[in-house]
Each structure stands twice: as C-alpha cells, then as structure tokens.
Structure 1
Amino acid sequence: MEHRVVFDFAVEFTNGGGVQGQDFRLDMEGETISDQELADYIVADLRLLMVEKVTILNKFYIQEKHKREPVDPDNAKKLIDLSHTIFDGLITYKGLPAPVICDFLSRENSKAKYEEGTEFQIGKIEMVSNTGTYIDCPFHRYAHGKDLSEVSLAAFANLDGVTINAVGVMEIGVDYFKNKEIRNKAVIVRTDWSRHWNTDAYFENHPFINREAAEYLRDCGVKLVGIDSHNIDDTRGNNRPVHTVLLGAEILIVEHMCNLGALPEAGFLFSAVPPKFKGVGTFPVRAFATLA
C-alpha cells in the first residue's frame, strides 16, 4: 500500500521572516514519518538557508498513489551499518578475554550527586583492543609502524569502496581481484561468514585471503582491505602473511564485518574510524558505507 503524509508547516529564519505551507502532501516509504524527518526534508528540498525553526502542524496520513519518489528520511544518502554490536561477554577471538561492560556510576547512585530529577550514567568498559568489528594499523604488526594516533583521518573515512564477492570460498586467491578497479580503493571482501557470528562455527575453517592475493592488492595500491570473516589470514598456522604484507605497506585491515550483502559492487564510500589512541594498533570501529 502506498502512503502519503499531509501536514501544515511554518519555517522561521534567523534573519527574520518565514515561510508557511498548508495541506502539504509528500509520498513516504513507510506508514509513518517523524516531524524532524519532515522538517529536514522541507529544508533540503526547498534549499532553505538560515533556518531557525521548523514547526510541523496538523499532520495525518492517507493511503494514496504516489506522485513522485517517496521521502527518504536519510535525505537521499543511505548509511549501511557494517559493524557487529559489542556486548558484555562477547567472544570475538578464542583465547582473548570478553569485554566487561558495566556502570562506573549508575543512575541510581548519581541521584545523590545532582538535584532531584537529574540522573546520569557513566559506563565502564574493560576489553582488549581486538573486540567486535575492528581496524588494524601497522603498529599491530610492526613495532615501528604507525599507531591509531599517527594514521591520518583521511585513511579511515570516505574511501571509495568496491565489493568483492567471494561467498562460498575458503581460500580467496588473486583471481578474485584481477580485472577490478581497485587502485586507491577500500576493497571489501564479502564471504557472508558473518552469519556464524557469536557461534562456535565462526572460529573454524573460516574464509581468508592468501599471500599471493595480499601481494597483488599491495602492488595495486589499495587503501584498505576489509572482510566479514574471523580473520583475513589463515589461522590454522602461526604465520600471518596477509597482515605482514598489507600492514607493511600501510594498507589498513578491517575484520569481523557484517551486512556486506547490502553493498553494491561499487559507487559507495567506506568509513571505519577508531579513537585517536597513542600506542595502540587495533581498535573497534563503527564501519559503515554511504550510498549516493
């Protein structure tokens, strides 16, 4: 069923004056839309500047055939979350401790510190840096490599991305990357292994990239390589050639991603930004893609 929203609006400007609309109608993707989403859409669609306040009035919904492309609450840009949720007790890698997530200051205890009706929570997190969806910098592998604080912000954010489909493959070789436009790209390898996340199956016989493919990616000058698997390397042995090759060339690695099936082959921006820690080479990120 196609849905439309009917409403009045009033826009006030910081330099005085205003704009009003009555019985305004917009097509919607879903059955409801918030006042804030409508306000953002009006400002963007009418290309308004110096807006102080937008008031939505007399809003109601009707079922009626769409007249135009439905309103996208994300304002024409869709964000795709590619990260797992980190929770208390999560095992990301066997042999590493799970995070402990608790209150440092609970809301109940905060009541004694503030006036009546004012409460706060301050969380406490104890964890190893290899937890959840995380990014590896050169310092993770090399003592003199760049740590999180030394890698430029441009290396983490708004990278042109390409998706490589390697679903159903355990050892991902160089042929998966040949004849692809990958130079200066974030190369995101989709295996769909994330469907085993938080199960024993996730740790066994997982997909990985081999040394030849890593050397090819290095020689092609890619910016970052991500994978939705337990490790970008084969963990059945004690060597880690992919980490060695890529991090040695200052090519960042993102592991334990998810939701890669929602990505197109190309035409998106990839971001995975960690905190700016000194002396740390790995840390959880909120990896995401931005679709135009």
Structure 2
Amino acid sequence: MPDKRVVFDFDISFTNRGGIQGQDFRLDIAADTISDQELADYIVTDMQLLMVGKVDILNKYYMEEKHKRQPINQLRDDKYIDLSHTIFDGLVTYKGLPSPVICDYLSREQSKANYEPGTEFQIGKIEMVTNTGTYIDCPFHRFEHGKDLSEMELERFADLEAITINAENAIEINKSYFTGKEIRNKAVLVYTGWAKHWNTTQYFENHPYLTAEAAEYLKECSVKLVGIDSHNIDDTRGKSRPVHTILLGAEILIVEHLCNLDKLPKSGYKFNAVPPKFKGVGTFPVRAYASFNS
C-alpha cells in the first residue's frame, strides 16, 4: 500500500480566550484515512497545548507521499491492547453455569411515551452470574472472610507493571515457566493460546492450568496478580483448586478467560482490570487491557 499523508487546516480556540490557526498542515498516516477527532487530539498533544476548547479540522484531503516519520495512527493503535472477550446474550463462559440474559428493561420504542418527539432512550437489563466473560477473582471468591471487590484497593486493579509468560501449547504449567523471570510485584499474564477455542466445546476440555508448585512460587515472589487465557487457572478434572487457594489466600488476584495475549511484548507495559465496586461479591467481569506509554 502506498504511503499516505493527510493535509489539512486547523482552527483552535482556547477556553481562556484567544486561539491559533494552521494552514496546509501535513502528517504521515498509517491507514488510508484518519478522523477529525484523531487529528485534533494529535495536534493538541504534539503541540502541548493547554486550556483547549473547540478544535476545527478544515479543508482535509489525502495524498500519496513517502513517509518521513512514524505514522500517527500507528502510535495511537499501539497505546492499548484489549485483552477481554465480548459478553453477549447466551454466552457460555463456564459449562454448568447459566449464560447471561441481555435485554431491554426500557426499549427505545417504549421510551417515546416519556419524552418529546425525536427523544428516545434505552435502559438495558442484564441477568448473569458473576463468573461471566473475562473476570477477576478476589479473596472473597474462595474465602468467606476474604476481601470482596469493594474492599480491594483500587491500585490492586490498575496500572500494574506486567510481564508475559509464554506457555503456548503447554497444558501443565509448572514452576519452571516462571523461574529466572523478573516477576516480583508484577501482574503475571500466562499466554497459552487457549483463547482460540473460546465459545467452542473444546474450550472446556483438557485446558491449560497452573500447578500448585507454580502457585507457591508466584506467592513466594510476591506477584500482584496472575492472569491466564484459559478456561481456569486450576486443573478442573478433580475437586481441589490449589491455585485459587494459594493465590487468593495471599491476596494475589486472578484473572481468567483473557485473550489477545499473543499481541503483548514480554514486558514494558501495564495491566488493567478494574471491576465495579460491589459489596459481598468476589468475582466480576472486567474490561482487561494492556497500556503502553505514548
């Protein structure tokens, strides 16, 4: 694909009065097009502007020209990587547990009776178990007197320095996968490749899991959180759950059913998985993602 460049004028107003304009501004882009909002955000950030109000992008057009620096779309696309599965009506996350019911509580058609013509709203209704989609486990999930979602400090869920452990094609993930790695005080994300089976019957059978020995080692290294792109962090063929017991007993959070871990580097990013602040709940879906410095 030929290198593309966007050419445009801009008019920026400041909230404390005044403004600046630019004509025939040119930027390299990675795709064929770029939105006005993306251009506005880039200009404000790149020029380190403060007190910015309205930004108008004017007379925009595209041209083919060899790039002179890294395209701005590429910089933006790499800032976040979504690590969560989509939750939809009827999804089976854990065989034997009910799937979510997602529907209208108040439909747009019903709302018309409450507002002036042309004004409509939708209020949704969701019925589901807390172990749905990509979710995080707190100590209360395993222990009656463990901390629930509302009792865990916010910093336990966000901006965690992270490391990716490659255990692709492994089933039993033992201590050896973690030895010699810089894991202390980090979120440890275990990539197995199992997410490719998501929403299939194969996802539930013979899935990758951590051993108790691995969990004990992670506990000894004082990791903050352990995530996996598999059906369960424990071996579900028996009735014991030693990994949950060891990690949650040490207040090390667990995130299961991750995805896109193959897109992550070995390190140099932060992990985020923030749930709602529920009392009396130890597990809940999260929008898990990796973030990178700009």
Q: Which TM-score band applies after superposition, normalised by the shorter structure?
A: over 0.9
Contact 1:44 1:75 in 2 (8 A): no
Take 1:277 and 1:120, find their aligned partners in 2: how far apart are those partners? 26
- Counterpart of 2:229? 228
Q: Deviations over 1:144-184 (max 9, x none)?
A: 00000000000000000000000010000000000000000
- Counterpart of 1:207? 208
Is it true that 1:187 corresponds to 2:169 in the alignment? no
Q: What letter corresponds to residue 73 of structure 2 in structure 1?
A: D
Displacement after TM superposition at 1:197 (Å): 0.3
Q: What letter corresponds to residue 137 of structure 2 in structure 1?
A: D
Is it true that 1:131 corresponds to 2:132 in the alignment? yes
- Counterpart of 2:145? 144
Contact 1:41 1:75 in 2 (8 A): no
Normalising to structure 2: TM-score of the pair? 0.98
Task: Count the aligned residue pairs.
Answer: 292
- Counterpart of 1:22? 23
Displacement after TM superposition at 1:118 (Å): 0.3
Take 1:18 and 1:114, find their aligned partners in 2: how far apart are those partners? 39
Contact 2:84 2:259 in 1 (8 A): yes
Contact 1:11 1:19 in 2 (8 A): yes
- Counterpart of 1:52? 53
- Counterpart of 1:271? 272
Local SS of the residue matching 2:126:
strand
- Counterpart of 2:238? 237
Take 1:247 and 1:57, find their aligned partners in 2: how far apart are those partners? 55
Take 2:96 and 2:146, find their aligned partners in 1: how far apart are those partners? 25
Displacement after TM superposition at 1:31 (Å): 0.6
Local SS of the residue matching 1:111:
helix
| Ranges in structure 2 where 5+ consecutive residues have no aligned partner | none
Take 2:233 and 2:83, find their aligned partners in 1: how far apart are those partners? 16
Contact 1:215 1:245 in 2 (8 A): yes
Q: What letter corresponds to residue 226 of structure 2 in structure 1?
A: V
Local SS of the residue matching 1:10:
strand
Q: Deviations over 1:15-46 (max 9, x none)?
A: 22211111110000101001111011110111
Normalising to structure 1: TM-score of the pair? 0.98
Q: Deviations over 1:226-277 (max 9, x none)?
A: 0000000000000000000000000000000000000000000000000000
Take 1:75 and 1:18, find their aligned partners in 2: how far apart are those partners? 26
Matches within 5 A, 1:78-93: 78-93=79-94
| Ranges in structure 1 where 5+ consecutive residues have no aligned partner | none
Take 1:83 and 1:50, find their aligned partners in 2: how far apart are those partners? 35
Q: RMSD in angstroms over aligned alpha carbons?
A: 1.0
Displacement after TM superposition at 1:72 (Å): 3.1
Q: What letter corresponds to residue 9 of structure 1 in structure 2?
A: F
Displacement after TM superposition at 1:53 (Å): 1.3
- Counterpart of 1:94? 95
Contact 2:31 2:73 in 1 (8 A): no
Is it true that 1:170 corresponds to 2:171 in the alignment? yes
Contact 2:271 2:289 in 1 (8 A): yes
- Counterpart of 1:12? 13
Over the matched positions of the two proteins, sequence identity in percent amounts to 71
Take 2:264 and 2:105, find their aligned partners in 1: how far apart are those partners? 38
Take 2:26 and 2:162, find their aligned partners in 1: how far apart are those partners? 37
Displacement after TM superposition at 1:57 (Å): 0.4
- Counterpart of 2:250? 249
